[in-house]
């Protein structure tokens, strides 16, 4: 039995007041026992989020981190720093980081290792563009993104990690993968890892992300290899996010 995870990816959104309102809403109305619930906030608000979530079962994480532990890396934030504040998880390799900030598979693999060394759970994202899907390259693309990290970190590292399959064409577009499309990729990712270690593959949580909403979450989460969601836009509204968490019960 894999415990589902519903993780909010706030991206570069929010203000002190909107975050207070959002977390206030979650704290008063979120009543779920099953899934692990997590919110990933922009760096300046992490301390506020940590403070507001104290004593609740909601965990918090970051959306990126440096592969380096400390030193002359202007503008970067390290995983040991995040850990010092109680950060539980970090999103790595999101398609926006890959496409807009040019992150490579190699850098993402280094960040993944750094997260595990710091004791922060990496949520490793992968996904194909529309062009790649239409060219029939989906499996090849996601498996390459996955294997770059397996080669660097080793299969056993995945017993302490989470994966997120996020088709690029579904992110922020309102176009969601159908449950069948998502399940097919999730199953293939798990099978790829199972070739190296069956038990690691079976216990790994694989989240789906890409326009998950309250009204499509249930059918996605019902799929055998979908263990919850990474939620962007819909995680910014308490009511919507709570409904998605309930769908993962």
Least distance from ligand PGA to the Cβ atom of residue 93, Å = 11
Residues 103, 166, 186, 240: which is the catalytic one? 166
The answer to whether residue 106 is catalytic is no
Least distance from ligand PGA to the Cβ atom of residue 34, Å = 21
By the rule CB under 6 A, 171 interacts with ligand PGA: yes
Alpha carbon distances (Å) from 23 to 107, 112, 153, 155:
32, 28, 35, 36
Strand partners, 123: 91, 162
Q: Give the nearer residue to ligand PGA in terms of CB position, either 62 or 200.
A: 62
Helix, strand, coil share of the chain (percent; to 5): 50, 15, 35
Q: Binders of ligand PGA: how many residues, by CB under 6 A?
A: 13
Using CB under 6 A as the binding rule, the residues of this chain from 199 to 228 that contact ligand PGA are 209-212
Least distance from ligand PGA to the Cβ atom of residue 78, Å = 23
By the rule CB under 6 A, 232 interacts with ligand PGA: yes
**Strand runs labelled E in 50-156:** 59-62, 89-92, 121-126
Indicate the Cα dihedral angle 19, 25, 28, 29, nearest 10°. -140
Residue 155 exposed, middle or buried by CB count within 10 Å (0-12, 13-18, 19+): middle
Residue of 172, 191, 222, 239 interacting with ligand PGA (CB under 6 A): 172
By the rule CB under 6 A, 233 interacts with ligand PGA: yes
DSSP 39: E
By the rule CB under 6 A, 14 interacts with ligand PGA: no
Residues 94, 128, 186, 240: which is the catalytic one? 94
* Residue whose C-beta lies closest to ligand PGA: 232
By the rule CB under 6 A, 93 interacts with ligand PGA: no
The answer to whether residue 94 is catalytic is yes
Closest residue by Cα to residue 83 from 60, 103, 106:
60
Q: Give the nearer residue to ligand PGA in terms of CB position, either 118 or 234.
A: 234
Q: Identify whether the C-beta of residue 93 lies closer than 8 Å to the C-beta of residue 125.
A: yes
Closest residue by Cα to residue 247 from 53, 22, 4:
4
Binding interface with ligand PGA (CB under 6 A): 9, 166, 171-172, 209-212, 230-234
The residues carrying an active-site annotation are 94, 166
């Amino acid at each position: 039995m894999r415990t589902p995870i519903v993780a909010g990816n706030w991206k570069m959104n929010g203000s002190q007041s909107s975050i207070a309102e959002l977390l206030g809403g979650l704290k008063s109305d979120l009543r779920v026992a099953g899934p692990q619930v997590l919110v990933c906030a922009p760096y300046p608000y992490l301390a506020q989020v940590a403070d507001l979530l104290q004593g609740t079962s909601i965990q918090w994480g970051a959306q990126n981190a440096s592969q380096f532990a400390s030193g002359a890396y202007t503008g970067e934030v390290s995983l040991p720093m995040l850990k010092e504040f109680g950060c539980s998880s970090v999103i790595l390799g999101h398609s926006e980081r890959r496409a807009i900030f040019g992150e490579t598979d190699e850098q993402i693999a280094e960040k993944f290792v750094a997260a595990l060394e710091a004791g922060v759970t990496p949520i490793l994202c992968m996904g194909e563009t529309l062009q790649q899907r239409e060219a029939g390259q989906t499996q090849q693309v996601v498996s390459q993104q996955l294997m770059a990290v397996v080669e660097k970190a080793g299969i056993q590292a995945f017993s302490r990690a989470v994966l997120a399959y996020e088709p690029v064409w579904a992110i922020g577009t309102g176009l969601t993968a159908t449950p069948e499309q998502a399940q097919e990729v999730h199953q293939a990712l798990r099978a790829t890892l199972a070739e190296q270690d069956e038990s690691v593959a079976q216990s790994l949580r694989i989240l789906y992300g890409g326009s998950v909403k309250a009204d499509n979450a249930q059918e996605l989460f019902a799929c055998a290899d979908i263990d919850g969601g990474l939620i962007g836009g819909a995680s910014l509204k308490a009511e919507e996010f709570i409904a998605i968490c309930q769908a993962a019960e």
